[in-house]
Structure formats: C-alpha cells, structure tokens
C-alpha cells in the first residue's frame, strides 16, 4: 500500500501550518490530506493482486480503492481531522491501521499511519 501525501508512517503537523494542515487555519484541528493506493510499482517489490483491504477505525470513513486490484488503483482523497487536546494546548493523535491481503507474498500486509497535531508556538 502507498499513501499519497505521506512518505513515512508518521506525520506531525502544527495547527495552521499550510505545508501540512489542509485547512490552513489555526483552529484547534489539523486536517491531513490522504489518499490510499494499492498495487503501485515500488523499487524492489513486485505488485500482486490485492484481494481485500480494510481500514480501522471505520468511523473515519476513509475511501479505499476497489479490490480486487492487480493494476494501480487509488481511493478518493480524504481529510483526516485531528483535534488538539486540553484547550488546544496539547497534541492530538489519531492512528489508522490498514490491512491488505493479496495473492502474492506476503499474503497479508499491515500498515499503521500515525497523525499528530501540534499546538501553534
């Protein structure tokens, strides 16, 4: 799996930072832009047919690409909103787990994305 807009499994953002907060406003939340993609060509990997894909927690309603997918496919773009805590003075955190199953090796892949919203200085 790949995630457009996210290079690693963890993304920190300061509320209002236009480089990472999609709403660009210091409003007590960070909006992370995300798009889930499968069957992407990556160096050192051979793409297999992705037979199932699940994202949790489901309450975030992250759009997933249609499976089975043997060619590159992406879900619709979405924003994951992470609120600050304790009167907007403490970082907020949201983790999303993705589980993909395929007909190749490994049969099952699990990725976790960790989003952290930091208060402005």
Per-residue pLDDT tens digits for 25-64: 999 999 999 999 888 877 777 778 999 999 999 999 999 9
Which residues have a Cβ under 8 Å from the Cβ of 62 and sit 6 or more positions away? Answer: 34, 36, 55, 75, 78, 80, 96
User: What is the extent of the structural domain holding 18?
Assistant: 2-118
Helix ranges (DSSP H) in 10-84: none
Give the global pTM: 0.84
Domain count, the chain: 1
Q: What pLDDT does 13 receive? A: 95
Residue 76: HSE in the Cβ half-sphere, 13 Å Cα cutoff: 5
């Amino acid at each position: 799996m790949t995630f457009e807009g996210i290079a690693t499994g963890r993304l920190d953002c300061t509320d209002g930072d236009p480089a990472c907060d999609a709403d660009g406003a210091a409003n007590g939340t960070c909006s992370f832009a995300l798009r889930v993609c499968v069957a992407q060509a990556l160096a050192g990997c051979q793409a297999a047919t992705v037979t199932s894909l699940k994202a949790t927690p489901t309450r975030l309603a992250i759009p997933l690409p249609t499976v089975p997918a043997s060619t590159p496919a992406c879900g619709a773009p979405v924003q994951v909103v992470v609120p600050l805590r304790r009167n907007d003075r403490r970082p907020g955190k949201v983790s999303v787990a993705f589980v993909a199953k395929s007909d190749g090796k490994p049969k099952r892949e699990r990725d976790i994305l960790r989003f952290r919203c930091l208060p402005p200085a």
